[in-house]
Amino acid sequence: MARQLDEQIAGRFPVGQRLRVLDVGMGQGTQALRLARAGHSVTGLESDASMLAAARESLATEPEGIRERVRLIEGDGRETGVHFLPGSFDVVLCHGVLMYVEEPDPMLAGLARMLAPGGLLSLLVRNADALAMRPGLAGDFGGALAAFDTATYTNRLGLSVRADRLDTLRGTLAGIAAPLHAWYGVRVFTDNVDNDVELPADEMERVLALEDRAGRTDPYRGVAALLHLCGVRG
- Positions touching ligand SAM (CB under 6 A) are 24-27, 30, 45-48, 51, 76-78, 95-97, 100-101
Rg of the chain on CA atoms, in Å = 18
Which residue lies nearer to ligand SAM by CB, 27 or 119? 27
Which residue lies nearer to ligand SAM by CB, 146 or 190? 190
Which residue lies nearer to ligand SAM by CB, 24 or 42? 24
Which residue lies nearer to ligand SAM by CB, 29 or 135? 29
Q: How far is the CB of 28 from ligand SAM (least distance, A)?
A: 7
Q: What DSSP element (H or E) covers 74?
A: strand 70-74
Q: How far is the CB of 157 from ligand SAM (least distance, A)?
A: 9
Measured CA distances, 188 to 29, 80, 128, 170 (Å): 24, 32, 14, 20
Closest among 19, 4, 56 to 185, alpha carbons compared: 4
Which residue lies nearer to ligand SAM by CB, 20 or 95? 95
* Distance in angstroms (rounded) separating the CA atoms of residues 228 and 93: 10
- Nearest-10 crossing angle of helices 30-37, 49-60: 30
Q: How far is the CB of 109 from ligand SAM (least distance, A)?
A: 14
**Residue 98 DSSP code:** G
Q: How far is the CB of 176 from ligand SAM (least distance, A)?
A: 17
Q: How far is the CB of 139 from ligand SAM (least distance, A)?
A: 26
Which residue lies nearer to ligand SAM by CB, 46 or 90? 46
- Which single residue brings its beta carbon nearest to ligand SAM? 27
Q: How far is the CB of 78 from ligand SAM (least distance, A)?
A: 5
* Distance in angstroms (rounded) separating the CA atoms of residues 66 and 54: 17
Helix, strand, coil tally for the chain in percent (to 5): 45, 25, 30
Our CA angle for 164, 5, 176, nearest 5°, is 50
Write b or e for each residue in 212-225: b if 16 or more Cβ atoms lie within 10 A of its Cβ, otherwise e: bebbeeeebbeebb
Which residue lies nearer to ligand SAM by CB, 65 or 126? 126
Q: How far is the CB of 126 from ligand SAM (least distance, A)?
A: 10
